[in-house]
Amino acid sequence: MAAKQAEASRDARGAKGTRFGLAAAGLLLAWLVAAAALVQPARADEIGLAKPAARLTIRIEDVKRGGMVRLGLYDRGGYRDDNSKPIASADVDAVEGETIITLRDVPPGIYAIETYQDVNGNDRMDTTWLGLPLEPYGFSRDVHPVLSKPPFSKVKFALAAGEQSQTLHLQSGVSVMASK
């Protein structure tokens, strides 16, 4: 009988040891799952990979001889504020007829283009005393404004990664007023 009690005692300890072992393994597994959930994959910019970017080629038509074509690419917030810095910009010598500007490494997003030809090279858009433009200007989607800058909703476009192009035609405040 003593032998049977010793054997039973050993079995009980073994069962407790097995239960403890399973409980410890369960806790370890739960900890590993929780730790794995906390680890997030690295972002492309954190491991040195380049973010996808866009290359935007803008064809500006109806350019007059002389001066510079000045172009700005704006997001919604920057478009509202006439004194804001564009997301991307370019100032290039005007090529009569058509001037082509390429903006590289632009983050994908929703943008608007504003451009004008600084014919006299004074680094600003010349206007009449009423605020009407005296120099040729243009907007994305070839929007023709009437007496004020068009809203962002009219000139916005989506820029995706990769190569894209836009074509816009310069217009003159004087010729718009004369044609009406």
Q: What is the pLDDT along the chain (180 residues), one digit of tens a residue?
A: 544 444 444 444 444 555 556 556 566 666 555 555 555 555 555 555 667 899 999 999 999 999 999 999 999 999 988 788 999 999 999 999 999 999 999 999 999 999 999 999 999 989 888 888 899 999 999 998 887 899 999 999 999 999 999 999 999 865 444 444
CA separation for the pair 81, 144 (Å, rounded): 19
**Distance between terminal CA atoms of the chain?**
118
48 phi, psi to nearest 5 deg: 90, 5
Residue spans of the domains in the chain: they are 1-39, 54-179
CA separation for the pair 76, 153 (Å, rounded): 9
Which amino acid is located at 1 in the chain?
Answer: M
**What's the maximum distance between 2 C-alpha atoms anywhere in the chain?**
120
pTM of the model: 0.68
Q: Are 54 and 166 in contact (CB under 8 A)?
A: no
For the domain spanning 54-179, the CATH number is: 2.60.40
